[in-house]
């Protein structure tokens, strides 16, 4: 699931939520629709969560994602979102920052304080 800060005002659902998350994660957009700066968190490349996110939400494979970040770095110095190795740490970071979002197992997100599920995949 993609989790966001509990105060996130994004009302997108389904494919619209997926499209918004994709643009924010790939840093093609830097702000949520309400103007809050987006702060994406990824997972370690080898994790099941990251693999599923890249395939199902981004619609890419690892090589395409690597090329995207290389291109972004060369164009304007943009780097990939910080990779975090556990659901617990993602939930902690997302709960702490207004525009933050990250990828966690659905079961971990349910009932977690300070976050809400924006999109399940």
DSSP state of 64: H
Q: Residue 93 CB: number of other CB atoms within 10 A?
A: 18
**N- to C-terminal Cα separation, the chain:** 6
- How confident is the model over 17-36, as pLDDT tens digits? 999 999 999 999 999 999 99
Q: Is the pTM of this model over 0.85?
A: yes
- How confident is the model over 65-102, as pLDDT tens digits? 999 999 999 999 999 999 999 999 999 999 999 999 99
């Amino acid at each position: 699931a993609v989790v966001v800060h509990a105060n996130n005002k994004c009302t997108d659902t389904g494919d619209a939520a997926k499209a918004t998350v994709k643009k924010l994660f790939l840093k093609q957009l830097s702000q949520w629709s309400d103007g809050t700066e987006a702060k994406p968190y990824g997972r370690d490349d080898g994790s099941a969560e990251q693999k599923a996110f890249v395939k199902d939400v981004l619609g890419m494979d690892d090589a395409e994602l690597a090329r995207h970040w290389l291109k972004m770095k060369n164009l304007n110095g943009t780097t990939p979102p910080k990779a975090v190795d556990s659901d617990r740490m993602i939930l902690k970071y997302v709960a702490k920052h207004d525009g933050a979002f990250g990828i966690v197992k659905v079961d971990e997100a349910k009932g977690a304080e300070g976050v809400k599920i924006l999109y399940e995949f």
